[in-house]
């Protein structure tokens, strides 16, 4: 929802989207771990700035997952960038101050939570490996690495700190080194082996999580970081050849396997400026789709299916 509201404000300049954004961010900030006195069991039981969860740990213990917080923080920083870098939009001092506070908060959490999780792989590549994944001896999934990379990219644009730029470049290098070109299309696994002795099987990424990877790749390309137009072409070919099956049907996985019953393809809309066929597929799907809300599921993804999709449709049809 937050990400979609940023794009809607950027595209329209309508402050109603700012108001909704700050209503949500105010509520989030009033319910962080410090305010609720919640400790992170995989970060030495410290009470840290962030939002922990018990949903994804094997024993329901509490932990701040890098992905979860990056999904909140990168829209915080992206909104700051829109407000401060878009000269055609006049913004009230109140909203400018609120956006500056969100940037400050994001930087503080990055320093106190994320930085300690950095894992250097080579002199030119690395990634953020959350401590829970290390505890269970699992590599942090590639799509999750990409969202933390997106946060560092937005932080670099906002603050100009070269450390953020280096984190972004090295994360992008690591991810690009683990991409494979098959029949002119990009493919990558959901995860990588944790160690040379890890014999677990890791299949290709699913389309919904690959949408996150696409967000990072395209934002890197548009900011001259690691990825180039050939990478965009391989990603476009993947969407057209593997993911889209025609008539509003999409695959489950990025290699074309399976059929998704409720596809999360939202960030592939970002390919629209580079390929008219992608744009037509995404535009047509917006009007033909049926979104089912299951009250018994925690995976309804209302923000993706409605607000974010509408935001991209508005942005790329302006």
Q: Over the stretch 84-125, which tens digit does the pLDDT of each residue have?
A: 987 777 888 999 999 999 999 999 999 999 999 999 999 999
Residue 39 lies in a domain: no
Q: pTM for this one?
A: 0.96
**Which secondary structure element, helix H or strand E, spans residue 118, and what is its range?**
strand 118-122
CATH number of the domain that 191 lies in? 1.50.10.20
**pLDDT for res 8:** 97
Contact 102, 77 (CB under 8 A): yes
What is residue 89's predicted lDDT score, i.e. its pLDDT? 78
The CA-CA-CA angle for residues 47, 1, 96, to 5°, reads 75
Is residue 39 left, alpha or beta, with left meaning phi > 0 and alpha meaning psi from -120 to 50?
beta
Residue 215 lies in a domain: yes
Q: Is residue 58 part of a domain?
A: no
- Establish if 269 belongs to a structural domain: yes
User: Is 53 domain-assigned?
Assistant: no
Helix (H) or strand (E) holding 146: helix 142-159
Residue 188 burial (C-beta neighbours within 10 Å; 0-12, 13-18, 19+): buried
Q: Is residue 27 in a domain? A: no
Does a structural domain hold residue 59?
no
CA distance to 69, 77, 105, 123, per residue, from 32 (Å) = 10, 17, 11, 35
Range of the domain at 153: 64-316
- As averages over each run of 10 residues, the pLDDT of the chain (318 residues) reads 97 95 98 98 97 95 98 98 86 94 98 97 97 96 97 97 98 98 97 92 94 97 98 98 97 97 94 98 93 78 90 96
Is 290 inside any structural domain?
yes
Number of domains in the chain: 1
φ and ψ of 16, to 5 deg: -60, -35
% residues pLDDT > 90 (the chain): 89
């Amino acid at each position: 929802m937050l990400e979609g509201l940023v794009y809607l404000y950027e595209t329209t300049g309508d402050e109603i989207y700012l108001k909704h954004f700050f209503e949500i961010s105010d509520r989030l900030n009033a319910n962080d771990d410090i305010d609720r006195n919640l400790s992170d069991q995989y970060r030495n039981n410290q009470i840290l700035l962030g939002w922990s969860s018990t949903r994804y740990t094997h024993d329901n213990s509490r932990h701040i997952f890098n992905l979860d917080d990056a999904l909140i923080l990168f829209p915080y920083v992206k909104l700051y960038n829109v407000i401060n870098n878009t000269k055609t939009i006049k913004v009230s001092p109140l909203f400018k101050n609120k956006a500056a506070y969100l940037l400050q908060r994001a930087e503080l959490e990055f320093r106190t939570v994320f930085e300690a999780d950095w894992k250097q792989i080579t002199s030119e590549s690395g990634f953020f490996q959350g401590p829970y994944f290390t505890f269970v001896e699992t590599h942090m999934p590639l799509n999750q690495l990409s969202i933390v990379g997106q946060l560092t990219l937005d932080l670099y644009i906002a603050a100009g700190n070269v450390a953020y730029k280096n984190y972004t470049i090295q994360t992008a290098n690591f991810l690009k080194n683990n991409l494979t070109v098959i029949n002119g299309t990009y493919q990558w696994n959901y995860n990588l082996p944790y160690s040379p002795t890890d014999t677990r099987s890791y299949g290709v990424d699913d389309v919904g999580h690959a949408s996150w990877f696409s967000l990072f790749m395209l934002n890197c390309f548009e900011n001259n970081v690691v990825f180039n137009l050939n990478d965009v072409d391989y990603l476009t070919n993947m969407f057209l050849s593997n993911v889209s099956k025609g008539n509003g049907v999409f695959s489950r996985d990025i290699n074309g396997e399976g059929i998704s019953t409720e596809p999360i393809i939202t960030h592939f809309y970002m390919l629209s400026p580079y390929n008219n066929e992608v744009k037509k597929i995404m535009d047509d799907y917006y009007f033909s789709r049926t979104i089912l809300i299951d009250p018994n599921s925690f995976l309804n993804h209302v923000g993706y299916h409605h607000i974010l999709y509408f935001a991209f449709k508005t942005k790329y049809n302006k």
